[in-house]
Amino acid sequence: MIIVMKPQAPESSVRQIVRIIEENGLEAHLSTGKQVTIIGVVGDKNKLTNKNLELMNDVDRIVPVTETYKQASRKFHPEDSIVKVGSHIIGPGTLTIMAGPCAVETEEQLLSIAHAVKKAGAQFVRGGAYKPRTSPYSFQGLEEDGLRYMAKAKEETGLNTICEVISADAINAAVKYVDMLQVGARNMQNFQLLREVGQSGKPVLLKRGLSATIDEWLNAAEYIIAEGNPNVVLCERGIRTFETATRNTLDLSAVPVIKSKSHLPIIVDPSHATGVRSYVGPLAKAAVACGADGLMIEVHNDPEHALSDGAQSLTFDQFDQLMAEMKDYIQLAGRKL
């Protein structure tokens, strides 16, 4: 449940209620807005039934939260969240572009791509060092060497870095080298992994599972936040449908739906959503137009010879052109790169 305080309720009243909540073995989460303070309560609310909180000083009302996720809910935190990665801000007013290869293949490959996407205006270089491939015989990633190249790319370009993690070992290595961890679609309901990224102290990009509902996705985010890590960004990357013309079906409606249900930022990945390079641009623009906080786009120096996802990767020139074409959309959406 949430306890909505009256406008301008003094801090002493808020503190008193927080004390009662905590004394009864529950957690209190404060959201201090411009007008009102909201106290979110996590735990067995039956323990508070005879406390008559609604009658206490400066309490406006008590609202039950029926969703199983609480801290990811907009009811708990009515204002849009901002997720900081170093000095970069993901959230309202900004548009974050994460671009780079599907997989880190060599140091030269990653550095050349990092320089190219930086020049085009991206703020993050992405690249997988641990690849969750459908076939065990496909390229699985360079692991710690790949992470080292990511750190080098950051050093040379100043870009923020993001890398997918698929195990506790990968997390332990990645936290030493990259700025943000990615949980991929295939691991969205790997609850142990979610807990571990929650404990990592790093901001997390949580991709939507291949067949996950929005509620399942927000519950996955809750696992991370419940470990004390509120820095979660969601990523819509297409879902499984009957349609085979594209690799997945991009569910752009997820953007406004997430915005209404949650305060977490959401970005869109049109590359994995479509699997086809020529469809990436139109959907990138549509994502910006419908309120996404950013984009993740695969870019490769030589897509024809990429070790994974070449068909959906943009060339440097194509990415440059898309970034130029998106300028007006970004401005119209009231955002800044």
Give me the residues that bind ligand PEP (CB under 6 A), please.
102, 128, 132, 164, 184-186, 207, 237, 269, 272
Contacting range for Mn ion; rule: CB under 5 A; set: 67-75, 239-247, 304-312, 315-323: 304-312
Do residues 3 and 33 touch, judged by C-beta distance below 8 A? no
Q: Structure tokens of 320?
A: 């440059």
Q: Which is nearer to Mn ion, 273 or 333 (CB)?
A: 273
The angle, 0 to 180 degrees and rounded to 10, between the axes of the packed helices 168-177 and 144-157 is 20
What are the phi and psi torsion angles at 63 (to 5°)?
-120, 125
Beta bridge partners of 164: 182
Q: How far is the CB of 237 from Mn ion (least distance, A)?
A: 9
Q: Which is nearer to ligand PEP, 16 or 249 (CB)?
A: 249
The interface with Mn ion within residues 101-160 (CB under 5 A) comprises: 102
**Residue 291 binding partner per list ligand PEP, Mn ion, none, with a CB distance cut-off of 5 to 8 Å that depends on partner kind:** none
**Residue 23 class from Cβ within 10 Å (0-12 exposed, 13-18 middle, 19+ buried)?**
exposed
CA distance 312 to 101: 10
Contacting range for Mn ion; rule: CB under 5 A; set: 83-91, 97-105, 147-155, 186-194: 97-105
**Residue 77 binding partner per list Mn ion, ligand PEP, none, with a CB distance cut-off of 5 to 8 Å that depends on partner kind:** none
Contacting range for Mn ion; rule: CB under 5 A; set: 160-168, 193-201, 237-245, 302-310: 302-310
CA distance 298 to 270: 9
Q: Which is nearer to ligand PEP, 76 or 279 (CB)?
A: 279
**Residue 146 binding partner per list ligand PEP, Mn ion, none, with a CB distance cut-off of 5 to 8 Å that depends on partner kind:** none
Q: Which is nearer to ligand PEP, 17 or 170 (CB)?
A: 170
The reply to whether 309 sits near Mn ion by the rule CB under 5 A is yes
Q: Which strands form 27-32's sheet, in the order they lie side by side?
A: 27-32, 37-42, 2-5, 59-63
Do residues 289 and 333 touch, judged by C-beta distance below 8 A? yes
H-state helical runs in 24-87: none
Q: Which is nearer to ligand PEP, 222 or 236 (CB)?
A: 236
Q: How far is the CB of 64 from ligand PEP (least distance, A)?
A: 34
Q: How far is the CB of 331 from Mn ion (least distance, A)?
A: 29
CA distance 145 to 167: 16
Q: Which is nearer to ligand PEP, 151 or 210 (CB)?
A: 210
Q: What is the dihedral of CA 229, 193, 91, 268, to 10 degrees?
A: -170
Do residues 274 and 239 touch, judged by C-beta distance below 8 A? no
**Residue 281 binding partner per list ligand PEP, Mn ion, none, with a CB distance cut-off of 5 to 8 Å that depends on partner kind:** none
Q: Which is nearer to ligand PEP, 38 or 170 (CB)?
A: 170
Q: Which residues form the interface with Mn ion (CB under 5 A)?
A: 102, 309
